[in-house]
């Protein structure tokens, strides 16, 4: 994996938007950009096929997650970008790279989800357990790889490798992200996907906080500055 060179940019005045205001604005933008996924989930019924389609509908979440991550990061504030401009830039910069991760990741998750729902109560418990474990691992990898892709530009396969590598490299960060995923799944399943969308920015902030060591090590080991 070759190093990534970060070019020098003209100095900019740091943005002085209050953290609470930035969080609120980014949260509104995040909720709006993931709303197609929420609407799709609401229209679909129950059953294995509907669950798999709901997973595929999460394709809108990936770029929005990356945009919110970038907008809440230090780089956006250092560049003097307000929350709206930062979210827009984060979306434009990351949408292509993130979709390279999310499309195959969601396809695999859709297959696993169909298997879990279809096999529940009919197949041996170990089959369902294995599928659930695999789905959790894919979700963890997808979140970690997306965080990395939000702040660094690597080839798609290198980002995928880094996402998998850091699952074991920094288990404390991985554990916090795992808990965040479980909480998000519980809110979306037991309460409402719409509520999860509204609270999504808090979820992103927690994940970013947990992944600070991941981003620091990526920057130190894999990014070369001029």
Single pTM value for the model:
0.86
Instruction: Give pLDDT tens digits for 24-53.
Output: 999 999 999 999 999 988 787 678 888 899
Rounded to 10 deg, the angle between the 125-151 and 200-210 helix axes is: 80
17 pLDDT exceeds 80? Answer: no
Identify whether the C-beta of residue 1 lies closer than 8 Å to the C-beta of residue 22: no
109-153 residue pLDDT tens: 999 999 888 877 677 787 888 989 999 999 999 999 999 999 998
Burial 102-113 (b: 16+ CB within 10 A, else e): beebbebbbebb
Q: β-pairing, 223-225 with 4-6?
A: parallel
């Amino acid at each position: 994996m070759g190093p990534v060179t970060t070019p020098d940019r003209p100095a900019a005045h740091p943005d002085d938007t209050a953290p609470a205001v930035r969080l609120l604005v980014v949260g509104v933008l995040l909720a709006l950009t993931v709303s197609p996924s929420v609407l799709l989930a609401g229209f679909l019924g129950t059953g294995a096929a509907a669950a798999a389609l709901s997973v595929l509908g999460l394709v809108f979440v990936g770029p929005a997650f990356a945009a919110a991550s970038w907008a809440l990061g230090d780089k956006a504030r250092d560049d003097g970008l307000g929350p709206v401009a930062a979210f827009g830039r984060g979306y434009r910069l990351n949408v292509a790279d993130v979709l390279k991760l999310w499309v195959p990741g969601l396809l695999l998750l859709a297959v696993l989800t169909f298997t879990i729902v279809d096999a529940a109560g009919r197949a041996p418990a170990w089959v369902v357990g294995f599928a659930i474990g695999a789905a959790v691992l894919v979700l963890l990898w997808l979140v970690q790889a997306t965080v990395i892709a939000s702040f660094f530009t690597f080839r798609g396969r290198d980002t995928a490798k880094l996402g998998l590598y850091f699952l074991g490299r920094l288990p404390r960060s991985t554990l916090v992200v795992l808990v965040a995923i479980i909480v998000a799944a519980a809110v979306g399943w037991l309460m409402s996907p719409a509520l999860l969308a509204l609270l999504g920015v808090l979820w992103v902030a927690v994940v970013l906080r947990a992944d600070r060591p991941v981003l620091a090590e990526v920057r130190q080991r894999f990014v070369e500055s001029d």
